[in-house]
Structure 1
């Protein structure tokens, strides 16, 4: 698989709780304007923020879905102020807080 280029990279799966990251949030985001430049700017911002662990451009009710980790609810609130409320191009965002993780894997069905 390495020779074929199927393996992109190898990573260590870290214990989120042991790292003090007690909050996982699933956040859907709608932008005010869908211009290419504004969309690319938002995507770059998400890609560069360490709180955002996964970021997806989607088709459906929202423009994006992201997974965000934070130390606690106060840390998450500070993230929302900085990341969403301070961005005039974010029309709305909806947060679902994870209460328990049943499955979280990077494994692919082979």
Structure 2
């Protein structure tokens, strides 16, 4: 996939929308120096070109009863395309899995998982790890506190 040419204004729009995707085009036009309609056209193009993948709200897990967060390293028995594809599909379908990364190194996957408590996490582990014959081993770290969370990508606005 080739990189779309982004000018300084596109980069400013992306940075502003990553900070708050509900910022109105009128507000952005004041800070960026483009008309609201030009901002809307550019944002629409950035979405069409899949540079902006989603407009989401970040929810505080604890405020909705998800009191525990776990980082899980999972290794598969064998690493063939079908096994990997099946594991990815299962992780994408699991609502407890916030993030899933296919990685190099000692593990095949790194997962970020939330649960109400350790008992609920144990149920998740039973369903996602023990019932999958392709999972050779997994290791869990319990998150003590969130220092920084987010999905913003650092975008240099250039000159």
TM bucket by the smaller chain?
Answer: over 0.9
Distance in structure 2 (CA, Å) of the matches to 1:70 and 1:25:
8
Corresponding residue for 2:119? 74
Which gives a bigger RCO, structure 1 or 2 (Cα 8 Å, sep 6+)? 1
Distance in structure 1 (CA, Å) of the matches to 2:86 and 2:52:
29
* Equivalent of residue 144 in structure 2, options 96, 99, 104: 99
TM-score, with structure 2 as normaliser = 0.67
Q: Secondary structure at the match of 2:61?
A: coil
Distance in structure 1 (CA, Å) of the matches to 2:151 and 2:116:
22
Matched pairs, number: 110
Distance in structure 1 (CA, Å) of the matches to 2:149 and 2:95:
19
* Contiguous gaps of at least 5 residues in structure 2: 1-9, 11-42
* Contiguous gaps of at least 5 residues in structure 1: none
- Kindly provide the CA deviation profile for residues 37-82 of structure 1, in whole angstroms up to 9, marking residues without a partner as x: 1111111000111000100000111101010010100000010011
Q: Whose strand fraction is larger, Structure 1's or Structure 2's?
A: 1
Query: Which has the larger displacement, 17-26 or 6-15?
Result: 6-15
Q: Secondary structure at the match of 1:28?
A: strand
- The structure having more radius of gyration, on CA atoms, is 2
Corresponding residue for 1:89? 134
**RMSD (Å), alpha carbons:** 1.0
How far apart are residue 13 of structure 1 and its match?
0.8
TM-score, with structure 1 as normaliser = 0.95
Corresponding residue for 2:79? 34
Structure 1 segments, 4+ long, off by >3 Å, are none
Corresponding residue for 2:67? 22
